[in-house]
Amino acid sequence: MPTSLIQTESILAIDIGAATTRAVLFDVVEGQYRFIAIGQAPTTAEAPYKHVGIGVREAIRSLQAVLGVTLLGSQDDNLIVPSQPDGSGVDAVVATISAGPTMRTVVAGLLPDVSLQSARRLAESTYTQIVDTLSLADRRKPDQQLDDIIRARPDLILLAGGVDGGASRSIMKMLETIGLACYVTPEEKRPMILYAGNQQLASNAQETLSQHAAVFATSPNVRPSLEVEDVEPASAELADLTVKLRKRQLKGVDELYLWTGGTILPTAYAQGRMTRFLSQLYESRRGLLHVNLGASGATIAAGFNGDLTLGVYPQFGLGENLNALLQHTEIEQIMRWMSLDISANTLREYLFQKSLYPVSVPATLEEHAILQAIARQALYLAMRATQRRFPARMRMAQADRMPKLDLILAGGGAIADSASLGQSLLLLLDAVQPEGIAPIMFDQNNIMGSLGAAAARNNFLPQQVVEAGAFLGAGTIVSVVASAAIGDRVVRAKLTYEDGSETRAEVKFGGLETLPLPNGKTARLTLAPFGRADAGLGAGRSGSLTVTGGALGVIIDARGRPLNLPADPVRRRELIKRWSYAVGG
Amino acid sequence: MLAPAYHVLPLAAIVRERTLPIAGRVLAHPNQRVNAADVVAEASFSREHALINVARMLNISVREADRFIKVKQGSEVVQGALLADTGGLFARTVRAPRAGRVIAVGGGQILMEAGSARIELRAGLPGVVSRIIPERGVEIRAVGALAQGVWGNGRIDSGLMTSLIEKQDDVLNAERLDMSMRSLVILGGHVRDADTLRAAMDLTVRGLILSSLHSSLIQMARQMKYPILVLDGFGAMPMNSAVFKLLTTNAKREITVNAERFDRYEGVRPEVYIPLPVSTEPDEPQDFYYLAAGQTVRMRRPPYAGAIGIIESLRPGLSLLPSGLRAPAADVKIESGETAIVPLANLEIVG
């Protein structure tokens, strides 16, 4: 469509994170949508504010100060919509939200390895904590199941099970147990229910459950046949239920709902939608990976030419859930990433103290080193959990090895707010451990979710904003996989710039090297591995390719995959420091 | 930028809503004077259920079973009571496995609730009931001193407070507890061993108010039958000077320790109340403020965690912190006389 035919409305995107609320303005400049500016303020979902609208208005005021444009009415403090001839206001509003307590969720399915697994995957597409499961393998009596559901105090029950047209008796029994649990639960505490099972029983489910659930919804079967899993339609319905729950839990979300005309999405869902869109746009055959780590959780979205794998892990968030992180990992697994000599007890106390003040900022080197170590382990765990759900063709024989990807895009407070780009990059490389050759970009303003929400209003906006350079190019990563001893030469690299000049490097196993290549520039990279080392072109294969630059140029990571850190803590810390210096400190 | 208030107030009007998690019965009356431990509302809910499949037990159809069931919704039954009876010469019966109430009948089954739990809502602070929230609870108004904490073990009690803290960084250990402290609320410093918590339990103390707690003791503290309230946090943190001054000068007074669990969404947090007589009622404190020069603040994170200071100025833009991060920050003059650059996100207003 010619640009002139595009509806040229300014869009304000509001993102209510667990720690920070952002107001982002997208508008048309010289016929193309651009990211114009961002305003930020602390999120006010929690006490003492208990109204998200306070933080939203603060973020908009901050945006007004940057823009020098009035967006809030002076009389009523309401958003001016549509934009006025004097330049005040905006034409449309969209919103994303990740703030709010983790959704306590019961998942139910028939076979533990089939529909229950699909229901779990569905639950992992938003901010849930699974508090109980029901399946045919469950040995509890129905009344015990009923009491356990009541005790679990779920906000949400996800019910899958049965292929379309398949067995119905077991599903009906499960419906009855869940219906009774809802019936005996006080009305104001009743959960929402999403039925995503055998479609022939959808009307039975509706009849049995709708009058006893806070909200009842159905979606297409997540497991229409034994061989096919399709979680996406149900995750769209789940996104809708998530926003409905937030409207019940958090004051001010209903007002935002009015401002946006209903265009509020869970942030992770919007990020997933944008990841899928970008993977389609760039026809990414090998895959496009988006990782986001913030106070509300870790979100991993991988798009494989339109297919999306989305994993949302509130338990790995760097906010209020930190005090429970040690339920998911050993303290030694966090300690291994520590760049300073810090005791396990100090780390344990940090986890509790930080969970009391999730919005606080590390002011000392020690606190920053602790947070960086926690962030690495949290993202590492989230990445490994999501990898298991990649399409079969993208899964590696070794569960902790990553497939080769076309692009890696990273955002979230933990990554975007590092002390330097080098630190952000190293955190990403340590946690994700990418393989092959791929450009890396940073979503330094955390607008990925906002773009995903804006896409619901305007198809052209996300593409144009991305192509206008809304993300920061960090450079191109070349990961070398080799069976070698530390210090052995593994690859010889030559970067030939557009003006014909060259930079060369010989990288040893265990090393990390950068070759300068500024943002917006391309160069010819020639790689000659030693022995059977794989520098992204195949084991032992040499070759050259054109690479794009970035703030950190071309980064050659020859530390091995999976990354094995020395057991000796002194040596490990020295190495971590050396790697940190290699990417600019 | 907005910042939350940290209430350490020598005299304030304190208004707290106290509500049940589910609908129930309000027991208090408007203008009723209540003590912290008084039950102001109650609710009951069934924790255990029995699902009796009559059709399966009698090996008959659902329709037949419905016909033979002898109890109705709402029937109270004792253990062994007749629930269903086929009649006839060779009658087969189904009896109640335990005492309870029938809450649903149908589909050849009986659902009974057996064993209901009662939730008692306590006033939490001594004061006057200023408003009734129908079916939910009450609003209580009190006047006195108020000190907020960061962690509580979920218990409430009142008693005379005795102070065992002389310096802000004192450690409280079991040797310092003796029989003279029986049934008192003890104000102490940092606790780092389980013996101290056990010794306090043996003395049947009415509460323990601590500057900080070793993180390994959290689970144990949750199990103690007396209230434990942590003022500053986990690890060896000294008591901040504002609360140290307030509480040590109020030793020997009757106080209430409401060591409620912190709920960031509901706004419930552990608090210490000291009722005081007044002639004129003071104002209610604000819960949040815009940060500005001249305000007294408490720092929430190292290197000055717990320290009290005064904002000298808000720095423009982003400031470089010792951690290497850049963040909006303020110049804060700390009690020691030193001026520090502190990120705004790490500040709360004392007031």
Question: Does residue A168 form part of some domain?
Answer: yes
Domain's final residue, options A35, A64, A97: A97
Q: For an interface test with B, which of A38, A61, A149, A364 has the most B Cβ atoms less than 10 Å from its Cβ?
A: A364
Tokens of B3: 């910042």
- A72 φ/ψ sector (left φ>0, alpha ψ -120 to 50, else beta): beta
User: 3-class DSSP state for residue A219?
Assistant: coil
Q: For an interface test with B, which of A190, A360, A371, A581 has the most B Cβ atoms less than 10 Å from its Cβ?
A: A360
Same domain, A135 and A8: no
Pairing of strands B93-95, B100-106: unpaired
Contacts of residue A62, Cβ cutoff 8 Å, sequence gap at least 6: A23, A39, A40, A41
Other Cβ atoms less than 10 A from the Cβ of B88: the count is: 7
What mean pLDDT do residues A497-502 have? 96
Same domain, A71 and A157: no
A342 has a chain B CB within 8 A of its CB:
no
To the nearest 10°, the Cα dihedral for B190, B195, B196, B199? 180
* pLDDT one-digit tens code per residue, B290-347: 999 999 999 999 999 999 999 999 999 999 999 999 999 999 999 999 999 999 999 9
Question: Does residue A138 form part of some domain?
Answer: yes
- Rg of chain A over Cα atoms, rounded to whole angstroms, equals 25
Element (H, E) at B342: strand B339-343
Q: Among residues B257, B229, B258, B272, which one has the least CA distance to residue B7?
A: B272
Question: Does residue A505 form part of some domain?
Answer: yes
Same domain, A59 and A138: no
Question: Does residue A124 form part of some domain?
Answer: yes
Contacts of residue A346, Cβ cutoff 8 Å, sequence gap at least 6: A366, A370, B235
Same domain, A107 and A82: no
Structural domain containing residue A575:
475-585
Query: What's the rounded Cα separation, in Å, for the pair A84 and A82?
Result: 6
With pLDDT > 90 as the criterion, what percentage of chain A qualifies?
89
- Per the CB < 8 A criterion, the answer to whether A335 and A148 are in contact is no
Same domain, A74 and A123: no
CA distance B179 to chain A (A): 32
Instruction: Mark B286-309 as b/e (b = at least 16 C-beta within 10 Å).
Output: eeebebeeebebbbbbbebbbbbb
**What part of A 12-41 touches B (C-beta under 8 Å)?**
41
**What part of A 291-330 touches B (C-beta under 8 Å)?**
320
Tokens of A247: 């409207």
A chain contacts of residue B300, beta-carbon cutoff 8 Å: 357, 360
Same domain, A107 and A231: yes
A492 has a chain B CB within 8 A of its CB:
no
* CATH code where residue A210 lies: 3.40.50.280
Q: For an interface test with A, which of B284, B300, B318, B320 has the most A Cβ atoms less than 10 Å from its Cβ?
A: B300
- Whether A1 has a pLDDT exceeding 60, the answer reads no
Contact A366 B302 (CB under 8 A): yes
Q: What angle do CA A340, A344, A349 make, to 5 degrees?
A: 105
What are the strands, taking DSSP E only, across A207-325?
A: 216-218, 264-266, 288-293, 298-304, 307-313
Contact B216 A348 (CB under 8 A): yes
Please tell me the least confidently modeled range out of A161-175, A315-329, A508-522. A161-175
A chain contacts of residue B321, beta-carbon cutoff 8 Å: 361-363
A536 has a chain B CB within 8 A of its CB:
no
- According to the model, what pLDDT value does residue B325 have? 96
**Between A42, A143, A357, which is nearest B50 by CB?**
A143
CATH number, span B9-14+142-275: 3.50.30.40
- Rg of chain B over Cα atoms, rounded to whole angstroms, equals 27
Q: Among residues B106, B110, B21, B246, which one has the least CA distance to residue A189?
A: B21
- According to the model, what pLDDT value does residue A7 have? 63
A155 has a chain B CB within 8 A of its CB:
no
Contacts of residue A203, Cβ cutoff 8 Å, sequence gap at least 6: none
- According to the model, what pLDDT value does residue A4 have? 42
Element (H, E) at B339: strand B339-343
Orientation angle between helical segments A569-582 and A421-432, nearest 10 degrees: 130
Return mean pLDDT, chain B: 95
User: What phi, psi does A366 have (nearest 5°)?
Assistant: -65, -50
CA dist list (Å): B22 to A17, A361, B121, B137: 29, 37, 11, 10
Question: Does residue A439 form part of some domain?
Answer: no
Query: What's the rounded Cα separation, in Å, for the pair A486 and A190?
Result: 58
Q: Among residues B260, B330, B252, B264, which one has the least CA distance to residue B298?
A: B330
**Between A151, A184, A359, which is nearest B113 by CB?**
A184
Domain's final residue, options A97, A120, A140: A97
Orientation angle between helical segments A421-432 and A365-387, nearest 10 degrees: 40
Model confidence, pTM? 0.94
User: 3-class DSSP state for residue A422?
Assistant: helix
A chain contacts of residue B345, beta-carbon cutoff 8 Å: 42, 359-361
With pLDDT > 90 as the criterion, what percentage of chain B qualifies?
94
Contact A50 B234 (CB under 8 A): no
Tokens of B305: 């965690």
The confidence band for A284, taking pLDDT boundaries of 50, 70 and 90, is confident
Question: Does residue A492 form part of some domain?
Answer: yes
Distance of alpha carbon B164 from the chain centroid: 24
Contacts of residue A58, Cβ cutoff 8 Å, sequence gap at least 6: A21, A41, A42, A44, B1, B2
To the nearest 10°, the Cα dihedral for B216, B220, B222, B224? -150
Residue A311 or A391, more confident:
A311
Query: What's the rounded Cα separation, in Å, for the pair A442 and A425?
Result: 9
Please tell me the least confidently modeled range out of A278-282, A382-386, A573-577. A278-282
Where do the CATH 2.40.50 domains begin and end in chain B? 48-114
Element (H, E) at B82: strand B82-85
B chain contacts of residue A363, beta-carbon cutoff 8 Å: 301-303, 321-323, 325, 342-343, 346
Contacts of residue A212, Cβ cutoff 8 Å, sequence gap at least 6: A179, A182, A183, A190
Return mean pLDDT, chain A: 94
Question: Does residue A262 form part of some domain?
Answer: no
Same domain, A148 and A244: yes
* pLDDT one-digit tens code per residue, A95-153: 999 999 999 999 999 999 999 999 999 999 999 999 999 999 999 999 999 999 999 99
The confidence band for A5, taking pLDDT boundaries of 50, 70 and 90, is very low
Instruction: Indicate the fold that domain B291-350 takes in CATH.
Output: SH3 type barrels. (2.30.30)
Same domain, A84 and A182: no
Same domain, A112 and A83: no
- Please tell me whether the peptide bond between A82 and the residue prior to it is cis, using omega within 30 degrees of 0: yes
Complex ipTM = 0.92
* pLDDT one-digit tens code per residue, B64-121: 999 999 999 999 999 999 999 998 888 999 999 999 999 999 999 999 998 788 999 9
Q: Among residues A319, A279, A405, A236, which one has the least CA distance to residue A18?
A: A319
- According to the model, what pLDDT value does residue A2 have? 42
- Whether B267 has a pLDDT exceeding 60, the answer reads yes
The confidence band for A183, taking pLDDT boundaries of 50, 70 and 90, is very high
Domain covering B48-114: architecture: Beta Barrel (2.40)
CA distance B280 to chain A (A): 27
User: 3-class DSSP state for residue A64?
Assistant: helix
**Between B215, B216, B324, which is nearest A368 by CB?**
B324
Q: How many domains does chain A have?
A: 3
- Per the CB < 8 A criterion, the answer to whether B247 and B151 are in contact is no
- How many Cα neighbours within 13 Å face the side chain of B223? 6
Contact A48 B234 (CB under 8 A): no
DSSP string of A143-158, one letter each residue: HHHHHHHHHH--SEEE
Query: What's the rounded Cα separation, in Å, for the pair A572 and A580?
Result: 12
Handedness of CA A62, A63, A68, A69 (dihedral sign): negative
Element (H, E) at A569: helix A569-582
Domain's final residue, options A63, A97, A131: A97
Same domain, A71 and A112: no
User: What phi, psi does B320 have (nearest 5°)?
Assistant: -80, 125
CA dist list (Å): A54 to A60, A227, A450, B83, B298: 10, 48, 19, 57, 23
Q: For an interface test with A, which of B1, B2, B53 has the most A Cβ atoms less than 10 Å from its Cβ?
A: B2
User: 3-class DSSP state for residue A33?
Assistant: strand
- Whether A6 has a pLDDT exceeding 70, the answer reads no
Contact B104 A418 (CB under 8 A): no
B chain contacts of residue A148, beta-carbon cutoff 8 Å: none
Same domain, A150 and A195: yes
Q: Among residues A53, A27, A55, which one has the least CA distance to residue A41?
A: A55
Same domain, A79 and A159: no
Residue found under tokens 């998911």? A328
What are the strands, taking DSSP E only, across A353-424?
A: 407-411
- According to the model, what pLDDT value does residue A3 have? 42
